[in-house]
Amino acid sequence: MHRPVLLVVAHGSRDPRHARTVHALVERVRALRPGLRVETGFLDFNLPSVPGVLESLAARGVQDVVALPLLLTRAFHAKADIPAVLREAPARLRIRQAEVLGPSPLLLSALERRLYEAGLTPADKSSTGVVLASAGSSDPEAIAVIADIAREWWRTGWCAVRPAFASASLPRTEDAVRELRALGCARVAVAPYVLAPGFLPDRIARGAAGADVLADVLGPAPEVARVLLERYDAAALPLPAAVGA
């Protein structure tokens, strides 16, 4: 039985670091699952485009595709943009849209990995306040998910965890940093809950000027690659047979 092709659907950016990071993450996925065909398509700014990849796959005789949104929350792109693009795919393709990456315990592990790489140690947790800084969204569901992740992460032993947003929502990163200072945390760290560098991550970095530690973006962390494969595997399961078939 042929496994569906995994099509990683990235947003795209004018910032060249974005595409480089996406490709590095996809290479890590390929290394974890050597027998799986993995393609990358971008919604905007970068090539190959998602429609172009789908046309190419159809022309090469591919029939089954799992389209995986390279997104951390189910906001507008996952609910509207990506389904609209997939509906325009060649009719011969059977496409299933996988769930977005977050939330996942593996992503919390990746966030901690980045904080430790930036200089913290597990012994610092109880005295460190963390700003969980995401890109932001006007979608209430996405905002609620970020708040839930912050609460869950705090329960693992941090002094405090506060959500912050680079756009569309409040508070901003700098406001959350000040709040954690006022709360009495011995040190403050900013953990960008974003996948790749770009305009909004740069805004998060500027807002972290008053923090003690700024972690890197999640990027091609091994935990992120594992989440991609988890989402792929769930979407690639055989569809249940119809009753009475």
Q: Give the model's pLDDT for residue 80.
A: 84
Does residue 149 carry a pLDDT above 90? yes
Under DSSP, the state recorded for 217 is P
Q: Confidence band (pLDDT; 50, 70, 90) for 1?
A: low
Does residue 243 carry a pLDDT above 50? no
Q: At what angle do helices 105-117 and 140-154 cross, to 10 degrees?
A: 60
The pTM score is 0.94
Report CA torsion sign: 154, 133, 228, 224: negative
Q: Give the model's pLDDT for residue 4.
A: 97
Give kind and range of the element (H or E) at residue 88: none
Q: pLDDT tens for residues 100-148? A: 999 999 999 999 999 999 999 999 999 999 999 999 988 899 999 999 9
Q: What is the dihedral of CA 212, 17, 38, 149, to 10 degrees?
A: 30
Mean pLDDT over the full length of the chain: 95
Structure-token pair, residue 158: 């941090």
State in Å, rounded, how far the first CA of the chain is from the last one.
Answer: 20
Stretch among 60-64, 138-142, 224-228 having the lowest mean pLDDT = 138-142
Residue with tokens 């078939």: 245
Q: Are 194 and 135 in contact (CB under 8 A)?
A: yes
Does residue 241 carry a pLDDT above 80? no
